[in-house]
């Protein structure tokens, strides 16, 4: 067992506030919120364990970097995106076990075969009970008060959504943002950094830390690395203030040769020292993180209490009608989504047709230019210049076409999410009008929903263009290879020219057809991913509102039962006086309704008191604020 020090005074205050807040969440009917509050508070204040969440796009080497930090190949890696689920890496609290496990929300662990662990980690299998794959390691690999969370690529729509739905970003204490040196800081990565820092409550007084890693730096010439760092500093100046000092790493070399003296491998060592050093700074980091998290939960619960308190002012029949109104709004939303789905399909057709026009035009121009070269070419030109020129022209076109597709798909994504979000909010606003609730609705506030939508809006395009890009290399070689092979077999220039002219149309047709199929597949996959996500995003918004209303409905039912019993007792005492019995029953109903409203009024007062306590709490051993924070 870990021998942890006693809680200081401010930590005890935080634990007390967390216990009261968790109970209020349960009283409001939000069991999941209650459990999250208890779990995160226990981890931070009792266990003193700092949570490090590693984020980045697909194929940026996040898992390899974690393996390098741990000093062994413990997480699956490969040539295709390998992390398909959230994976927790930590030391057994009892210091008795290592290996692969499934861990439930209540902390219960079940042993897991290594083969199944890899399937779950890769997203090839799913645990029906919703448990998280966990890797328990020796204490000499990882401090007991530090845990690493490996996540899927945030632009992998099918997988990262699960990570966001579990609120991994808001629950993080330290963010490690991994960029790729060969494609640094895309628009979607800027969105990731902005959303991730917002999710943890900012980097000022929330206690959160952020480290930036530029991985695979070994693939960039040394004289270009300084320009990459300067570019990142410039781009992030408006997102994160302060001095930026990223780690320029080569995680593969660091894993393969831990003693390598290369600067990029040593950067992994410095990152490990910095991260592991945070394990001993829990008193400095975790109380502030706990307070930020509790304030966020309190704000969310306040919105829920406001909705339920207003609902209790109406009759049970009315609240049932209000729930029906929200459910009908969800049904009407499905009609809206049908329109949006048609928009996706129509937009996909337009994008493919526009690409087809460009393909046809490019093919004609390329064949004309190639034939002109072939007509006057000697053997050297035919064997060396023509194939290379054709390939270069094709690669240039593919590059431009990829950017055009990226822009068109990204615009479609942004337009759809904005439209869908507006439709959902309008429907739900209409449904809440009977409740006279005008505040910032709970269905809009939770950070995990806002982050989910914005990340997907930015991340979907990266996934499909990544697929597109992987196809290109093999495709362009279908042009160069047939030309070179046929030309080299000929003995005379004349025959070589004839063979080149004969081979050119077929080679171009083959490559263009391959590109045409790829473009169609890219657009189709993007549309399917958009379609799949639209319903989930908006139903998440409406389901939170329904949860609050149904909680109020349950309370009304309980109060009605109490009224029915009291009215029955009064009826027996006033058996001969109907008017008196009705008057007594009416007064009892009014008193019970008043008591029900007072109950929620008390809950709201308790929430407000907790918020005031947390906001004014002076944390023990809180670090002095730095005028110019350094972001690694």
119: containing domain: 49-278
Instruction: Please indicate, yes or no, whether residues 368 and 485 belong to a single structural domain of this protein.
Output: yes
Contacts of 534 (CB under 8 A, 6+ apart): 337, 340, 341, 416, 420
What is the arithmetic mean of pLDDT over 191-203? 80
- Pick from 382, 608, 575: which is nearest to 484 by CA? 382
Instruction: Please indicate, yes or no, whether residues 245 and 116 belong to a single structural domain of this protein.
Output: yes
Whether 1 is in a domain gets the answer: no
Instruction: Please indicate, yes or no, whether residues 103 and 225 belong to a single structural domain of this protein.
Output: yes
Instruction: Please indicate, yes or no, whether residues 506 and 540 belong to a single structural domain of this protein.
Output: yes
Whether 26 is in a domain gets the answer: no
Lowest mean pLDDT across 11-20, 86-95, 162-171: 162-171
CA 43, distance to chain mean position in Å, is 22
Whether 303 is in a domain gets the answer: no
Q: What mean pLDDT is reported for the chain? A: 75
Query: Residue 120 — very low, low, confident or very high, per pLDDT cuts 50/70/90?
Result: confident
Instruction: Please indicate, yes or no, whether residues 527 and 562 belong to a single structural domain of this protein.
Output: no
Whether 8 is in a domain gets the answer: no
The structural domain count of the chain equals 3
Instruction: Please indicate, yes or no, whether residues 467 and 605 belong to a single structural domain of this protein.
Output: no
Whether 506 is in a domain gets the answer: yes
Q: Count CA within 13 A, CB hemisphere, residue 405.
A: 36
pLDDT tens across 362-378, in order?
888 888 888 887 777 77
Whether 108 is in a domain gets the answer: yes
What is the arithmetic mean of pLDDT over 152-165? 50
Instruction: Please indicate, yes or no, whether residues 159 and 215 belong to a single structural domain of this protein.
Output: yes
Task: Note whether 288 and 206 are within 8 A (CB).
Answer: yes
Query: Residue 574 — very low, low, confident or very high, per pLDDT cuts 50/70/90?
Result: low
Whole-structure pTM value:
0.62
- Pick from 125, 85, 256, 263: which is nearest to 181 by CA? 263
Q: Is 51 helix (H, G, I), strand (E, B) or coil?
A: strand
Measure the CA–CA gap between 133 and 330, rounded to whole angstroms: 34
Residue 437 scores a pLDDT above 50: no
Conformational region of residue 58, where left means phi above 0, alpha means psi within -120 to 50, and beta covers everything else: beta
Residue 294 scores a pLDDT above 50: yes
What is the arithmetic mean of pLDDT over 568-587? 63
Give the per-residue pLDDT at 444.
28
Instruction: Please indicate, yes or no, whether residues 245 and 366 belong to a single structural domain of this protein.
Output: no
Give the per-residue pLDDT at 146.
95
What is the arithmetic mean of pLDDT over 201-221? 89
Strand partners, 211: 176
Instruction: Please indicate, yes or no, whether residues 566 and 417 belong to a single structural domain of this protein.
Output: no
Instruction: Please indicate, yes or no, whether residues 106 and 237 belong to a single structural domain of this protein.
Output: yes
Instruction: Please indicate, yes or no, whether residues 566 and 528 belong to a single structural domain of this protein.
Output: no
Query: Residue 344 — very low, low, confident or very high, per pLDDT cuts 50/70/90?
Result: confident
Whether 622 is in a domain gets the answer: no
Give the per-residue pLDDT at 411.
78
Query: Residue 166 — very low, low, confident or very high, per pLDDT cuts 50/70/90?
Result: very low
Percent of residues in the chain assigned helix, strand, coil, to nearest 5: 70, 10, 25
Instruction: Please indicate, yes or no, whether residues 170 and 57 belong to a single structural domain of this protein.
Output: yes
Whether 198 is in a domain gets the answer: yes
CATH value at residue 67: 3.40.50.300
Looking at per-residue pLDDT, the higher value among 272 and 414 belongs to 272
Residue 479 scores a pLDDT above 80: no
Give the per-residue pLDDT at 442.
29
């Amino acid at each position: 067992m870990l021998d942890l020090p006693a809680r200081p005074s401010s930590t005890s205050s935080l634990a007390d506030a967390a216990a009261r807040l968790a109970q209020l969440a349960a009283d409001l009917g939000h069991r999941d919120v209650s459990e999250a509050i208890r779990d995160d508070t226990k981890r931070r204040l009792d266990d003193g364990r700092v949570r490090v969440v590693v984020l980045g796009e697909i194929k940026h080497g996040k898992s390899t970097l974690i393996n390098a930090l741990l000093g062994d190949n413990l997480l699956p890696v490969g040539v295709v995106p390998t992390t398909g689920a959230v994976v927790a890496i930590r030391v057994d609290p009892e210091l008795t076990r290592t290996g692969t496990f499934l861990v439930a929300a209540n902390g219960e662990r079940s042993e897991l075969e290594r083969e199944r662990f890899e399937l779950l980690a890769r997203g090839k299998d799913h645990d029906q009970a919703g448990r998280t794959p966990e890797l328990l390691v020796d204490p000499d690999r990882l401090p007991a008060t530090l845990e690493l969370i490996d996540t899927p690529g945030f632009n992998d729509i099918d997988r990262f959504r699960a990570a966001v739905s579990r609120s991994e970003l808001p629950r993080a204490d330290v963010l490690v943002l991994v960029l790729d040196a060969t494609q640094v800081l895309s628009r979607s990565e800027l969105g990731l950094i902005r959303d991730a820092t917002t999710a943890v409550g900012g980097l000022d007084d929330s206690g959160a830390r952020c480290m930036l890693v530029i991985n695979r730096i070994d693939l960039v010439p040394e004289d270009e690395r300084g320009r990459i760092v300067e570019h990142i500093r410039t781009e992030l100046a408006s997102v994160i203030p302060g001095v930026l000092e990223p780690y320029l790493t080569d995680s593969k070399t660091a894993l393969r040769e831990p003693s390598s003296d290369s600067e990029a491998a040593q950067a992994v060592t410095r990152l490990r020292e910095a991260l592991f050093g945070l394990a001993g700074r829990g008193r400095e980091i975790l109380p502030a993180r706990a307070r930020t998290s509790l304030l966020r939960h309190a704000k969310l619960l306040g919105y829920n209490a406001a909705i339920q308190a207003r609902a209790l002012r109406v009759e049970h029949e009315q609240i049932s009608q209000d729930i029906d109104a929200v459910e009908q709004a969800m049904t009407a939303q499905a009609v809206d989504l049908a329109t949006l789905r048609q928009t996706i399909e129509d937009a996909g057709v337009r994008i493919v047709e526009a690409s087809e026009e460009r393909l046809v035009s490019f093919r004609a121009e390329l064949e004309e230019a190639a034939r002109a070269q072939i007509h006057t070419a000697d053997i050297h030109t035919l064997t060396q210049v023509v194939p290379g020129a054709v390939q270069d022209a094709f690669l240039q076109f593919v590059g431009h076409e990829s950017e055009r597709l990226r822009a068109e798909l990204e615009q479609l994504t942004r337009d759809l999410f904005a439209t869908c979000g507006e439709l959902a909010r309008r429907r739900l606003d209409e449904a809440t009008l009977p409740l006279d609730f005008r505040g910032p609705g709970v269905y809009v506030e939770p950070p995990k929903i806002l982050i989910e939508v914005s990340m997907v809006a930015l991340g979907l395009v990266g996934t499909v263009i990544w697929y597109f890009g992987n196809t290109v290399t093999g495709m362009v070689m279908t042009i160069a290879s047939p030309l070179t092979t046929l030309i080299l077999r000929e003995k005379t220039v004349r025959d070589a020219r004839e063979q080149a002219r004969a081979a050119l149309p077929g080679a171009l047709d083959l490559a263009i057809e391959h590109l045409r199929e790829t473009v169609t597949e890219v657009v189709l996959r993007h549309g399917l991913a958009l379609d799949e996500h639209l319903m989930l995003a908006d139903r998440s918004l409406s389901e939170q509102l329904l949860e609050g209303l149904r909680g109020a409905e349950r309370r009304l039912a309980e109060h009605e039962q109490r009224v029915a019993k009291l009215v029955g007792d009064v009826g027996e005492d006033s058996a001969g006086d109907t008017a008196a019995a009705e008057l007594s029953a009416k007064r009892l109903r009014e008193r019970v309704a008043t008591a029900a409203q007072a109950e929620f009024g008390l809950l709201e007062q308790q929430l407000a008191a907790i918020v005031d306590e947390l906001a004014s709490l002076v944390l023990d051993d809180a670090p002095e604020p730095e005028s110019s924070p350094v972001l690694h």
